[in-house]
Amino acid sequence: MRKMEWEWESMALHEHWDGEGRSEDRGESGCLEDGDLLLPFAFEETLCRDVGSGASPPAVHIWSHPGGLALGLRDSRLPFAREAMEELEAAGVRTAVRHSGGAAVPLDRGVLNVALLLPKSRAALDFHRDFRLLASIIVSAVAVSHPETAARIEAGEIAGSYCPGEYDLAVAGRKFCGIAQRRQNDAYFVHAFIIVSGSGRERGEQVRRFYERAAGGAEGLSYPAVRPETMASLAELGGPGSPGLLAEGLRRALTAQGVELLPGRDAGYADQRVRAAAEILRERYGRREG
């Protein structure tokens, strides 16, 4: 994949994820104490506003969640989506409807999420360019520890995958990463989920079961026809086998582009603005969690 030109000299680094290799000197404020799946998205919504206003430099957010299923808006409109979400919650899987593009995605400690939060500094935004930019960073991050695997990564929609899109990243036809975007008035962010460890097939089964329950056998509905065998983790594909290794690769890939990574100075998910943003997202896009 062609290396993209980078135009930002420095970026604030914010990390909220579980696992080995986390450094307490990076301004991290921990993972999700109450498991609220909307908090990472609310944090990015809040931080994106700060980037747009100039209160924060362009930023990078790396995070994970203990266990949840993030739905797209169309997923939440399936006839039995509420019942399917309630059953997942009863089984200990948190659910939420996210505001960025895409469809249902399982999130757990083996899935590392990364977002680039950028000001609208260019005269004409090109979302294809921004998708390619994040994709190139992910490929470079994999190459830090596993260059042979990185050389085999291809971009393009993987039919049968969950949350399919034009910029799916895959090895030998098995998807490990999807990319979505969210825009505000003065800034935007490009977000990717990366399946690092564990079974891609099992996660695909989880999404397939959700759609079966949410659709309730109704015909003529539009939702991804998931084939679990199309999904894999980087560990299964010969790449980095731990979120910590990939997170280090992401930092090094950005630094290699000449980007100075600055400590994120924020109150993290405990920030009252973030909590308020989560409630707004809950009311606007989904149901209120009990």
Condensed to tens digits (0 to 9), the pLDDT of residues 182-231 reads 888 899 999 999 999 999 999 999 999 999 999 998 888 989 999 999 99
- Distance CA(45)–CA(42), nearest Å, equals 5
- Answer whether residue 290 is part of any domain: no
Task: Indicate the number of domains in the chain.
Answer: 1
Which alpha helices (DSSP H) does 64-218 contain, by range?
73-76, 81-90, 127-145, 147-150, 200-215
- Answer whether residue 215 is part of any domain: yes
Quickly list DSSP for 42-58: HHHHHHHHHHHHTSS-S
The fraction of the chain above a pLDDT of 70, given in percent, is: 89
Give the pLDDT score at 158. Answer: 97
- Asked if pLDDT for residue 83 goes beyond 70, the answer is yes
Give the pLDDT score at 265. Answer: 77
For the domain that residue 147 is a member of, what is the CATH number?
3.30.930.10
Residues tagged active-site: 163
- Answer whether residue 22 is part of any domain: yes
- Answer whether residue 140 is part of any domain: yes
- Answer whether residue 35 is part of any domain: yes
Give the pLDDT score at 22. Answer: 42
- Asked if pLDDT for residue 98 goes beyond 90, the answer is no
Give the pLDDT score at 5. Answer: 63
- Distance CA(60)–CA(6), nearest Å, equals 14
For the packed helices 38-53 and 272-285, what is the interaxial angle rounded to 10 degrees?
A: 110
Domain that includes residue 132, residue range: 10-285
- Answer whether residue 2 is part of any domain: no
- Answer whether residue 101 is part of any domain: yes
- Answer whether residue 1 is part of any domain: no
- Asked if pLDDT for residue 25 goes beyond 50, the answer is no
* Mean pLDDT along residues 18-47: 65
